[in-house]
Structure 1
Amino acid sequence: MLEAFVFATILCGFFGIILKKNLVMKIVSMDVMSTGVIAYYVLIASLKGLYTPIMGEVKSKAYADPVPQGIILTAIVIGFSIQALMLVGVMKLARDNPTLETNEIEKNNTP
């Protein structure tokens, strides 16, 4: 059931990127899709265990793998920096164009 919700989040972000015409909404949709992908990765990585592997008395518990956790933290930071870079690009476009609709920007910039 949880996988279905995560997959629905990914699809909402994907269709938002395709169907929305406003550039800011496209960026938000990309962020929603990225969040869904990260949530799916965490969901799959946590199926084997939920306990943190800490040194100490070791019992037979199902431990979570720390490598995917590090990869996910890196993906979150990279996603945030890409989102910030895209928003700066939209700010630069907003200086030259009165609107952020893709159709109007294409009309204004075609020869």
Structure 2
Amino acid sequence: METLFLLTIFIGLVGALCRKNLMLKALSMDVMGTGVIGYFLFIASRSGMVTPIVGNAPETVAYADPVPQAVILTAIVIGFSIIALLLVCLMILSKEYPTLDIDDIERVEAGKRTGKPRP
């Protein structure tokens, strides 16, 4: 199970490094973030732990630490916010350029600097 999460992280990293399309890079970053969150949840979950709720639990029971759960929940919210902001930036960029391919955007920008018309 652990290898599946590490494979998801690796696939997201390779996609973020190798793809030229900015939308696919954003998708790869989201896949990588999902793999990291899943891996942390897998590591934080331990069998035999009891949820720390006040009640009739015996004193010798091992309680689960709620701090990793709060950190993961915060990471999910922050990751969602970053991806949403990135997609808004890509929408604005797509209105200025006809494509989201990095090479084409660099070619257009180089043409603007040298004063040559866009190919």
Shared fold by TM > 0.5?
Answer: yes
Give CA-to-partner distance per residue, 1:51-94, whole Å, 9 cap, x none. 31111112344432100100111111111110011111111110
> In the TM superposition, what are the counterparts of 1:1-111 in structure 2 within 5 Å?
2-47=1-46, 49-59=48-58, 60-110=60-110, 111=113
CA distance in 1, matches of 2:90, 2:48: 42
Cα distance in 2, alignment partners of residues 9 and 89 from structure 1: 25
Task: Rate the CA distance shift 1:97–1:76 in 2: closer, same or farther, 3 A.
Answer: same
Q: CA deviation at 1:49?
A: 4.5
Q: Distance in 1 between matches of 2:49 and 2:108?
A: 54
Q: Which stretches in structure 1 are left out of the alignment for 5+ residues?
A: none
Cα 1:37/1:93, change in 2 over 3 Å = same
User: What's the TM-score, normalizing by structure 2?
Assistant: 0.86
User: What SS does the aligned partner of 2:99 have?
Assistant: coil
Which residue identity does 2:100 align to in structure 1? Answer: L
| Structure 1 residues 79 and 108: CA distance shift in structure 2, 3 A | same
Query: How many angstroms apart in 2 are the aligned matches of 1:12 and 1:48?
Result: 29
The root-mean-square deviation of aligned C-alpha atoms, in Å, is 1.4
User: Residues of 2 paired with 1:44 and 1:108: CA distance?
Assistant: 46
Farther-moved stretch of structure 1 (59-68 vs 84-93): 59-68
Assess if the C-alpha contact under 8 Å between 1:48 and 1:64 holds in 2: no
The CA distance in 1 between the partners of 2:100 and 2:107, in whole Å, is: 12
Unmatched runs of 5 consecutive residues or more in structure 2:
114-119
AA in 2 matched with 1:70: A
Question: Percent identity of the aligned residues?
Answer: 52
